Structure 1
Amino acid sequence: MREQFTTVMKEAMKAGDKGRLAAVRLIMAALKDKDIEARGLGKTVSDEDILGLLQKMVKSRQESAEIYAKAGRPELEAQERQEIAVISEFLPKQMSDDEVKAAIQAAIAETGASSMKDMGKVVGVLRAKYAGQIDFGKASGLVKGMLAG
């Protein structure tokens, strides 16, 4: 993934796309911070960690864009939305609601979950198989609903 960031950054420089270049530089700066943090703990940053970082960046920008929209700052909202678009290019395609429900049902069957006590097992299986493809905030609610019903 790191090579992909560098390649996209070079392409943006050559094309003179300042917005795209700035967004990729933000990604690389956040990744460098993550590397430094991991090195202090004696770990390395995996692709799963990078996906998590990108998802966090998208979520943060979505929240900012909503705040700018409410505050009547369309230029700042547009900038946040542009950054979201660039960051999202590096994330795997998000699963549809139906696909998420099917994945949850499969995970429940795989773990033999029958009650709310088993929710952690189900979510753990989903995280292992579908990292970056599912919004786990929504998925947790769906898992809870399926196990309770």
Structure 2
Amino acid sequence: MSVENTVLGMWQALSDRDWERLKTFLADDCIYLDMPVGPTAAAKGPEDIVKRLKIGIEPLASYENFTGLLLDNGRDAMYEHHEEWHWTTGESAVLQFTSVHRVENGKITLWKDYWDMAALANHAPPTWLEDFATADMSWVYDATGEV
């Protein structure tokens, strides 16, 4: 599978919130991290990455990824895109992303998201950070020195 098909397939699975399909695009040792938070709060492996993603995305009334520019060199990809988040309480946010992926043997081995956390926090319901703080954090992996 091409780098483009792997990256876009994974993002479509995430947009569909098809957690099982999403896992099929991730290598067993894939590292995922939000760069605004840094490598000390990364997730490693498909199961823990999905746990991490579900904290923010699963409770939403709707979530959608909108494709944009994708550049790759046959192994590494940079993907400019945006997400729309809609909460059941009526709030919504449009989040601009640049994601960096490393793809080896048709699987994503590294996934780094660059985005503006304040843009999310400024539009989320007041309980959003509280809900995040009480979530299952068993996925936390310190990837310092690995990314």
- Fold conserved between structures, TM > 0.5: no
> Could you tell me the TM-score, scaled by structure 2's length?
0.25
Larger fraction in helix: 1
Name which one, 1 or 2, has greater alpha-carbon Rg: 1
By relative contact order (CA 8 Å, sep 6+), the higher-ranking structure is 2
**TM-score normalised by the chain length of structure 1:** 0.25
